[in-house]
Chain A
């Protein structure tokens, strides 16, 4: 079983839809969870950063972590065409730079006007 599993999609939704992106993981030592957004041919950029279980909201984006189920989600409300990108989940055992990130393979999202 891979450490981090992420459905590659592609996922296509109409503008204004609520988008749900998910990752599962197998290593219970993961404590820090991130979502990156990557536009085509660009570097990934950090979107959300959370520690342990719970929810974190930032504008139209909500990150959710359920450690008991080893499951993390990213919700995008009122999706916009500018949200079209690949979304990568990532996680690590610690919060400092010494801890290696393990990435999912990414989900390609298209928001249609």
Chain B
């Protein structure tokens, strides 16, 4: 089954404690991306990657890092999380059509 898998589903952390949200896809897609979704603001792209070792900023990249060492994995890294990064995060991969993961609800206290 074609899937985008992200973990964890829920995460509560404290300000400044580094965290990583993992994302993996089994569709052999070259293109992967991260979004955050906030009430009233909709989906906003954080970072995207067009292939292994090729990443670029989306609309709201501040405070986030990504890496793409393998085609199937695209982790999102928050080096020093802050409360304004509390949000619902989605990983996605696509060829012609975009497929989303199930989401990670992050709370930064």
Contact = CB atoms under 8 A, between A and B. Distances in A.
A97 B31 contact: yes
A42 to B, nearest CB: 6
Interface residues of A, number: 21
Interface in B60-106: 88, 90, 92, 94-103, 105
Contact of B99 (A46, A103, A105): A46
Given A43-B101, A43-B102, A44-B100, A104 B42 contact: yes
Contacts of B4: 43
A97 B43 contact: no
Interface centre among A41, A42, A43, A45 (most CB of B within 10 A): A43
Contact of B43 (A42, A98, A103): A103
A46 B97 contact: yes
Contacts of B7: none
Contacts of B29: 97
8 contacts: A34-B98, A41-B103, A46-B98, A49-B97, A88-B42, A97-B95, A98-B31, A100-B45
